[in-house]
Amino acid sequence: MATSTEENYLKAILHLEDTKGAATVGDIAAELELTSGTVTTMMQHLSEKGLIDYVPRRGLKLRRHGRLAALKVVRRHRLIELFLVEIMKFDWSEVHDEAEDLEHVVSDLLLDRMDEMLGRPTHDPHGDPIPDRNGKLTLVDSSSLAEVEEGDYRVVRVSDENSALLEWLNQKGLKIGGEFTVSRKDRAAGILEIQRGGEAALQLGLEMAGRMYVEEV
């Protein structure tokens, strides 16, 4: 069994491998807001436990067991978020921090009951895919809103970590599946203008837009 600290490291490595192709000590330190020295010590420890392959200054990689352990935590996190929203009526902007704590303590039995109550869902409230019980994760094909050109798009997923963005989307009535037009993109000013139906255009900073993922309509 992995401790909650170990689980957070495994989750960070999984995230980096899936988004950047590989994790480095420096990236993990940045993601978890720790020093490289602290991360290096933990890499040696996770390597001794057989959860990662780690050669100092050469690189690191999740081993099969480490990857499965990480996917289990991601599954718990996302199912808990959905449970809090669907069953307990939390707002989607409120659930990430709760899930960060609860993901380390719910039992497999409790989680399976939650999964059943939710009808074995495939996506969390922010549009992220939920790994299945065997640890199979189907990644969602989407582009960062900060990267796309002018045109028509649909919201596929939104980063769960920035509650200000989620509240802003609430105010504007923009949800997962919601459609809009990128009517103007000003790279120099770092601003994106989006429009929905006949409504007035909304301005969004490219940094925030980078936390939203869309597909072309």
Residue 1 CA to residue 4 CA, distance in Å, equals 10
Residue 115 or 160 having the CB closest to Zn ion: 160
CA separation for the pair 80, 95 (Å, rounded): 8
Q: Which residues bind Zn ion (CB under 5 A)?
A: 96, 99, 160
Helix (H, G, I), strand (E, B) or coil at 74: helix
Find the shortest distance in angstroms from Cβ 36 to Zn ion: 26
Contact 180, 195 (CB under 8 A): yes
Closer by beta carbon to Zn ion, 192 or else 208: 208
Residue number, 7 or 160, with CB nearest to Zn ion: 160
CB of 103 to Zn ion, least distance (A): 9
Distance (Å, whole) CA 168 – CA 165 = 5
What is d(CA 148, CA 143) in angstroms, rounded to the nearest whole number?
7
Name the minimum Å distance from CB 154 to Zn ion: 21
> Is the CB of 176 or the CB of 194 nearer to Zn ion?
176
Q: How far is the CB of 160 from Zn ion (least distance, A)?
A: 4
- CB of 150 closer than 8 Å to CB of 183: yes
Q: How far is the CB of 211 from Zn ion (least distance, A)?
A: 12
Cα separation, 139 vs 199, in Å, equals: 33
Residue nearer to Zn ion on the CB measure, 96 or 185: 96
- What lies within 8 Å, CB to CB, of 19 at 6+ separation is none
